[in-house]
Amino acid sequence: MVAEIRLRLAEIHDVPAILNFIQGLAKYEKLSDQVVATEEKLTQTLFGDKRFAEVVIAEYQHQAAGFALFFHNYSTFLAKPGIYLEDLFVLPEYRGKGLGKALLSHLAKLAIERDCGRLEWSVLDWNQPAIDFYQAQGASMLHDWRINRVTGEQLIALAKQ
């Protein structure tokens, strides 16, 4: 199976596939109503003058089958950059073929190559298959930490303070 998997950095022509993966992930997470991403926005933020994230495409038998979208964060305690995995998604018909594990392993190798102190991500608390998968790869759940987020009108209000 591994010989049938190819990982590569996304290119601008991959934007429609990236949007498809994002929409597939949102559907799986029952969050489709929250997706406002468009091909134009993805092109600008992933391949424009200022790139905010990177994408690795997983191909299976020459077909785009999954992706990992990530960006760098920073650990003040370690005084090192880290990699934050925003999204990892494999199309349903390609699951169980090693693509998710290959993507996660690729990001771990990239973190080491870039002298990062850690690789982190979040997972929804109800997504037991993903939790089991991540723990099988050696991930530790940080139960003492809670994610905080400010968006939309609250973000605008906070900025005006």
Set 60, 84, 94, 134: catalytic member: 134
Other Cβ atoms closer than 10 A to 14? 20
Can you list the positions of beta strands (E) in the chain?
A: 5-9, 54-60, 63-75, 80-90, 119-121
Residue 6's beta-bridge partner residues?
59
Give the separation between CA 128 and CA 62, rounded to whole angstroms.
30
State residue 2's pLDDT score: 66
Q: How confident is the model at residue 3 (pLDDT cuts 50, 70, 90)?
A: confident
State residue 16's pLDDT score: 98
Query: Is 134 one of the catalytic residues?
Result: yes
107 to 33, 69, 113, 146: CA distances (angstroms):
29, 10, 10, 23
State residue 1's pLDDT score: 57
List, for residues 69-120, the tens digit of each pLDDT value. 999 999 999 999 999 999 999 999 999 999 999 999 999 999 999 999 999 9
List, for residues 20-53, the tens digit of each pLDDT value. 999 999 999 999 999 999 999 999 999 999 999 9
Q: Residue 42 in contact with residue 19, Cβ under 8 Å?
A: yes
Cα–Cα nearest to 97, from 130, 143, 58, 147: 58
Q: What are phi and psi of 60, to 5 degrees?
A: -125, 120
pTM of the prediction? 0.94
State residue 104's pLDDT score: 97
Mean of pLDDT values over 144-157: 94
